[in-house]
Amino acid sequence: MQRLWLSGRILAAGARLVVQHVFRCDEEQPLEVIYSFPLPRDAALRGFRITGEGFEAHSELRPTEEAVKAYEKGVADGSLAAVLRHYGDGVVNLTVGNIRPHETVTLYLELLAGVELRDNGFRFRYPFTLAPAYHSRMRAAVTAGEGELELPADEFGDMILPRFRKDAAGLHEVGFQLDVLHQLPVDEVASPSHSIRVKQNGGSPVQVALSTEKDVPNRDLVLDVNFRESAAQVLAGSTGDGRRNFAAVAPSTLFGAQTTAPRRTVVVLDRSGSMGGVPIEQAKKAIEACLATLSPDDAFGIVAFDDKVEMFDSSLQPGSREQRARARAFLDQVTARGGTELAPAVAAAAKVLNGGGDLFILTDGQVAGTERILEQARATGVRLFSLGIGSASQDRFLSLLARETGGVSRFVTPRERVDLAAVDLFASMGRPVASQLKAGPHIQPELPRQVFAGTPVLVFGEIEDSSGESIELSWDGGRLALPIPEGDAATGETVRLLQGSRLITDWEVRYPAEEALAPLEKRKQSRVAIRLQELSQKYGLSSREMSLVAVVKRAGDRPGELPETRVVPVGMAQDTKFGAYFGSPGNLTACAMPAPPAQAVTMVFGSSSPRVPESAAPPSSLAQRARELLRGTKFAKPPATFQGEGRSAARRSEEDDLLDLAAQLEPDGGMPGETASVRVGRTIAALLAFVAAGHTASSGAFRSHVARLVEFLRRASGVPAGEQRVIDRALAAADAGKAPGGGWQALAAAPSANWKEIEKALG
């Protein structure tokens, strides 16, 4: 493949995209090219156009079995043929057969994709590569310097994964040029993944493009669109036959206030090898800060998992000082290692929860066979909140994991602050702003039953064009009506397709396990397969049951000629270690470990005395040795030279200091101290440190901490009049969201309260 270029329009409810794929055959024989890519969240394929010298053809949507047969017949006839087929885990194989020697073929693929919604904007992700994922039966190999993964055919069929190159330079070029359509004024469009050029012109679409000529396929495109305000948006338009389709984004601020009921939460921490380096350290720190928002009435648990599950405790524990100290000690010994067996961890965590409550999963989600995990997670009946760290390949899975269980998901790149995202998401858990959410008729898919702070509700539906109806939402203690504008036909068609894409995504993960693995011909009678066929036909979108195919007859086609199959390589996803999946392929001479013997056996028992690094020094007893091996401590990550290879090293920042402060909160919401006066003084300083950094009791990642600090100060009794005046001034500043200047962090961190400084800074 020569080029992959993304264009299209992104709206608040999702994106309608066109991806240009350019294939050129530089060989002296016809080629069959297989390009494998993951679907973004809530995505489906609408169709493709294939062009070349003297031809242009459009795809047809056909039942998958028929599409494959048509493709094979086309290849056997010597024609140019192309087929796009969905597999499990949202992986798509694009296969183009019979590209002639020195021929260039361009395929334009149209697809729909969802976005990750936030109250004041959204995050759009598009995968330019496919991150490898763990499966207990996966086989890995390195051939000619490229990593290959093979998944068991009884579970994944004939899906072919790309080859992975450690260095993506020299692979096909990638790039993008996108328009962001917006109803609300745009504050900022930013990308943590690529260098972008943004052209904003009042109310017109914001144009976003790669600022360089081209890039390499080793990471996903991530775009953040932030609006200046948080308000409802309704997109609509007539779609013919007297119907009007709509999509509404209703921010959580339109619902109620967060409840204050005690929280029951189990944190599930992925400690697999792929989390090694900065992500796991940030995740551990974040968990400590999250637990600091708990009161003794709240209850928590922690489960750490790789291919084994390790539990902090077999039952929920109160958020007391003692239990938090125990939790800290538990987290201290958690290091990254092993594979990602998520399903047993979810089952174990659900058992700890033993009733209502939430699971909070921190994972890179780099796992294959996700439909089974989803099925098992649904069966536990608990609500899952997921914080994904890593590649867009897993964004689809983790968003489904949360949605299918009634929770919320967030996804960050490994180069972003995992800890702040975790604290932010944790703040909205367990205490919905609306429960028993219901909508009027014409709404599909069903709405979540609860709404959580920070995450809007996305509503898709269809009404009669002339009805003048509104979108009616009601919940315990409230209701809301959003008028549906007339809109325009183009917007109406886009939201109709986004609705279809979302419905197909939801149904694709509902195959019972035995049906998902069944051959196509045996799956025909499946309830899920029938529903997917209906949806595909209604919306004109592909699914596991309906695929896109085109066959182009050209002059001079030579029937029976066997094309040579080539699998398009992609770059190893940035921040994912090649060695974590494929072993160490090259020389690692910079490693601080001793070199191995040339002949391992003879050297081990030979005359030379190998240098043993301190980190690998033999333990003092055999029992200890066995324990260490069991814990995998000997398999700890390689030396610092290799840790976090490609990941940005965390530099000490204001956020780091705030996290340290956050983790110090006592169960009563105040800062620690030897006397009541010291505690109050430090609590004032901590509160103003958060407020000065832009966090209030209702906004910012540390909103829960701010709320608890405020609560502590409001409850403070028996305080001398002078100190009470300072408390009142600090609370007023917090209410106003404006803290006067002062070295608040230093004052809060000091072991004693410097009342004179605090008073002086408050003015």
Partner 1 sequence: MTLAELAEASGLPARTIRFYIARRVLNGPVKAGRGAVYGREHLARLEQIQRLQAEGRTIAEIGRMDGHREKAVPAARGTAWWQHAIAEDVMVWVRDGLSPWRTRQVRAAIEEMAGRLRMSHDEE
Window 548 to 587, contacts with partner 1 (CB under 8 A)? 558-567, 577, 579-587
For the beta sheet containing 80-86, the strands, ordered from the edge strand earlier in sequence to the opposite edge, are: 60-63, 546-552, 80-86, 91-99, 31-38, 564-567
Report whether 419 contacts 283 (CB < 8 A). Answer: yes
HSE-CB for 285 with a 13 A CA cutoff: 20
For 678-702, b/e burial (b = at least 16 CB within 10 A) is bbbbbbbbbbbbbbbbebbbebbbb
Considering only residues 145 to 204 of the shown chain, the ones binding partner 1 according to CB under 8 A are 145, 148, 150, 153, 158, 160
**Of the two residues 513 and 595, which places its CB atom closer to partner 1 in the complex?**
595
d(Cα 37, Cα 264) in Å, to the nearest integer?
Answer: 38
State the CB neighbour count (10 A cutoff) for residue 306.
Answer: 24
How much helix, strand and coil, in percent to the nearest 5, is found in the chain? 30, 30, 40
d(Cα 408, Cα 384) in Å, to the nearest integer?
Answer: 7
Interface residue with partner 1 among 18, 22, 198, 593 (CB under 8 A) is 593
Is residue 629 near partner 1 by the rule CB under 8 A?
yes
User: What is the token pair recorded at 697?
Assistant: 């009791």
Interface residue with partner 1 among 54, 355, 618, 741 (CB under 8 A) is 618
Considering only residues 363 to 392 of the shown chain, the ones binding partner 1 according to CB under 8 A are none
**What minimum distance in Å lies between the beta carbon of 317 and partner 1?**
30
**What minimum distance in Å lies between the beta carbon of 428 and partner 1?**
32
Q: How many positions of this chain bind partner 1 (CB under 8 A)?
A: 79
d(Cα 555, Cα 96) in Å, to the nearest integer?
Answer: 18
Q: Name the one range near partner 1 by CB under 8 A: 107-115, 441-449, 522-530, 590-598.
A: 590-598
Q: Name the one range near partner 1 by CB under 8 A: 427-435, 501-509, 593-601, 679-687.
A: 593-601
**What minimum distance in Å lies between the beta carbon of 312 and partner 1?**
22
Is residue 274 near partner 1 by the rule CB under 8 A?
yes
Is residue 489 near partner 1 by the rule CB under 8 A?
no
Amino acid identity for residue 493 in this structure = E
**Of the two residues 149 and 706, which places its CB atom closer to partner 1 in the complex?**
149
Q: Tell me, rounded to whole angstroms, the distance of Cα 367 from its chain centroid.
A: 13
d(Cα 498, Cα 492) in Å, to the nearest integer?
Answer: 10
**What minimum distance in Å lies between the beta carbon of 162 and partner 1?**
13
**What minimum distance in Å lies between the beta carbon of 523 and partner 1?**
15
Contacts of 556 (CB under 8 A, 6+ apart): none
Q: Name the one range near partner 1 by CB under 8 A: 249-257, 392-400, 621-629, 679-687.
A: 621-629
CA proximity to 75, closest of 551, 567, 556? 551
d(Cα 703, Cα 706) in Å, to the nearest integer?
Answer: 5
**What minimum distance in Å lies between the beta carbon of 299 and partner 1?**
32
Is residue 490 near partner 1 by the rule CB under 8 A?
no
Interface residue with partner 1 among 101, 102, 140, 167 (CB under 8 A) is 140
**Of the two residues 355 and 618, which places its CB atom closer to partner 1 in the complex?**
618
**What minimum distance in Å lies between the beta carbon of 163 and partner 1?**
11
CA proximity to 140, closest of 150, 153, 154, 152? 150
Is residue 483 near partner 1 by the rule CB under 8 A?
no
**Of the two residues 365 and 456, which places its CB atom closer to partner 1 in the complex?**
365
Q: Name the one range near partner 1 by CB under 8 A: 210-218, 346-354, 609-617, 687-695.
A: 609-617
**Of the two residues 253 and 340, which places its CB atom closer to partner 1 in the complex?**
340
Q: What angle do CA 617, 618, 624 make, to 5 degrees?
A: 125
**What minimum distance in Å lies between the beta carbon of 36 and partner 1?**
12
Is residue 594 near partner 1 by the rule CB under 8 A?
yes
Helix (H) / strand (E) element for 722: namely helix 721-736
**What minimum distance in Å lies between the beta carbon of 24 and partner 1?**
18
Considering only residues 73 to 112 of the shown chain, the ones binding partner 1 according to CB under 8 A are 75-76, 95
Interface residue with partner 1 among 634, 714, 738, 760 (CB under 8 A) is 634
| Sign for the pseudo-dihedral over CA of 368, 369, 372, 375 | positive
Report whether 437 contacts 252 (CB < 8 A). Answer: no
**Of the two residues 272 and 699, which places its CB atom closer to partner 1 in the complex?**
272
> Three-state SS for 284?
helix
**What minimum distance in Å lies between the beta carbon of 364 and partner 1?**
12
**What minimum distance in Å lies between the beta carbon of 26 and partner 1?**
16
d(Cα 445, Cα 509) in Å, to the nearest integer?
Answer: 14
Interface residue with partner 1 among 11, 14, 32, 287 (CB under 8 A) is 32
Q: Note the helical H segments in 333-417.
A: 342-353, 370-380, 395-405
User: What is the token pair recorded at 525?
Assistant: 């009678």
Is residue 640 near partner 1 by the rule CB under 8 A?
no
Report whether 393 contacts 133 (CB < 8 A). Answer: yes
Binding mask 330-369 for partner 1 (x = CB under 8 A): -------xxxx-----------------------------
**Of the two residues 489 and 604, which places its CB atom closer to partner 1 in the complex?**
604
**Of the two residues 323 and 391, which places its CB atom closer to partner 1 in the complex?**
391
Is residue 34 near partner 1 by the rule CB under 8 A?
yes
As a residue count, the chain comes to 763
**What minimum distance in Å lies between the beta carbon of 180 and partner 1?**
38
**What minimum distance in Å lies between the beta carbon of 392 and partner 1?**
21
Phi, psi of 134 (to 5 degrees): -80, 140
Report whether 576 contacts 366 (CB < 8 A). Answer: yes
**What minimum distance in Å lies between the beta carbon of 638 and partner 1?**
5
CA dihedral 715, 717, 720, 726 (to 10 degrees): 0
Amino acid identity for residue 297 in this structure = D
Phi, psi of 689 (to 5 degrees): -65, -45
Helix (H) / strand (E) element for 626: namely helix 622-631
Is residue 638 near partner 1 by the rule CB under 8 A?
yes
Is residue 607 near partner 1 by the rule CB under 8 A?
no
User: What is the token pair recorded at 518?
Assistant: 């069944």
Binding mask 223-262 for partner 1 (x = CB under 8 A): ----------------------------------------
Q: Name the one range near partner 1 by CB under 8 A: 67-75, 441-449, 503-511, 701-709.
A: 67-75
**What minimum distance in Å lies between the beta carbon of 139 and partner 1?**
4
Q: Name the one range near partner 1 by CB under 8 A: 132-140, 345-353, 409-417, 475-483.
A: 132-140
Is residue 134 near partner 1 by the rule CB under 8 A?
yes
Interface residue with partner 1 among 54, 144, 213, 355 (CB under 8 A) is 144
Residues facing residue 60 across a β-bridge: 549
Interface residue with partner 1 among 103, 173, 307, 759 (CB under 8 A) is 307
> Three-state SS for 21?
strand
| Sign for the pseudo-dihedral over CA of 148, 153, 154, 159 | positive
Report whether 101 contacts 28 (CB < 8 A). Answer: yes
Q: Name the one range near partner 1 by CB under 8 A: 46-54, 109-117, 633-641, 673-681.
A: 633-641
CA proximity to 280, closest of 336, 339, 338, 341? 336
**What minimum distance in Å lies between the beta carbon of 25 and partner 1?**
14
**What minimum distance in Å lies between the beta carbon of 175 and partner 1?**
29
